[in-house]
Structure formats: C-alpha cells, structure tokens
Amino acid sequence: MGDTAVIIMAAGKGKRMKSNLPKVLHNLAGEPILNYVLDTVDQLEAKRKILIVGYKSDKIRELIGDKIEYAEQKEQLGTAHAVLQTKKLLSGFTGDVLILSGDVPFLTVKTLKKLLKYHQDNNFCCTLLSAVLKNPKGYGRIIRDKKGKIKGIIEEVCL
C-alpha cells in the first residue's frame, strides 16, 4: 500500500466485557482478537504500523513484542485523544493514515484495500468506513445528511 501508516487503537479496557483483561486480548477461536487485526494489517504491507496501548499495556506488549511501534495513551480519553498519541511518531510522515480499532477481527484485507484505493483514487483528505445496523444500541452514530454525506459522529450517551 505504499506510503500508508496504520494506527491500531488498543488502549481501552472494554468496560462492557466486565473483565480485567484488555478487550483486544480476549480469545476468539483460540487467538487473541488483536492477532486477527495484526494479521490483516500485515497483509496491507504498510510502511508504518503503530499500536496504541494503555490499559494493561504490559500484557499487550508481552504478546506482540517488538514487531510494531507503540504509542501510549496513559488516560483513556476517547478515540481522538488516542490517535493524538501517535503525533510525534508520525511527525514528517506524508502518506495516508489508516486508523483501525483493535477489536475488529472480521475486517478483511480485501475491504481495507478497497477502502484505501477508493480514498486514493478520489484524492480525499478523509475516508470513513462505517456500517448501518438495524439495532445500533450501544454504539456511536454517524450523522448523515439526506444525500448520505457525513455531518458528524456522536456517541450514544450524547443522544
């Protein structure tokens, strides 16, 4: 994918899971959820890969080792704050940046390649992959106008 950096957000606790284990370390079919995301990202052949860690970061670092760059989010203050923790690491980087959650094990490399191609072909400054759910309870919302253009993003607690 050429000059692409991938940021993977894995700093949160996953409060709704009611566990002491970081959400991304929970097993799915015998593998930590985060491993599926990292395997997908590896197939993108990105120039840079940065994992944002926070809650029990030592456990994540122990699993992943030094095959990736790390950014630390000491306080979990939301998605935008998490991404800001990569600012110094990406200083001077001029390529595209793909931001992923660390808990999306079913997101395929095919989908991400199509997203990046669409983004690059249209020379967009920002492209957002979202889903329309029949029952979005528990999730934030993408607010769109009548033509489908994104107007904002709002957390469920703010509705």
- Our answer to whether residue 16 is catalytic in this structure is yes
Do residues 52 and 101 lie in contact, with contact meaning Cβ atoms separated by under 8 Å? no
Give me the mean pLDDT over the 2-29 stretch: 87
Do residues 24 and 38 lie in contact, with contact meaning Cβ atoms separated by under 8 Å? no
- Given the residues 16, 48, 141, 144, the one annotated as active site: 16
The CATH architecture one would assign to domain 4-126 is Alpha-Beta Complex (3.90)
User: What is the pLDDT, as a whole number, of residue 17?
Assistant: 66
**Separation of alpha carbons 33 and 37, rounded Å:** 7
Question: What string of DSSP letters covers 70-104?
Answer: EEE-SS---HHHHHHTTTTTTTT--SEEEEEETT-
Instruction: Return the SS3 of 30.
Output: coil
pLDDT digits (tens, 9 = 90+) for 89-142: 999 999 999 999 999 999 999 999 999 999 999 999 888 898 888 998 888 889
- Global pTM reads 0.89
The full set of domain ranges for the chain reads: 4-126, 128-159
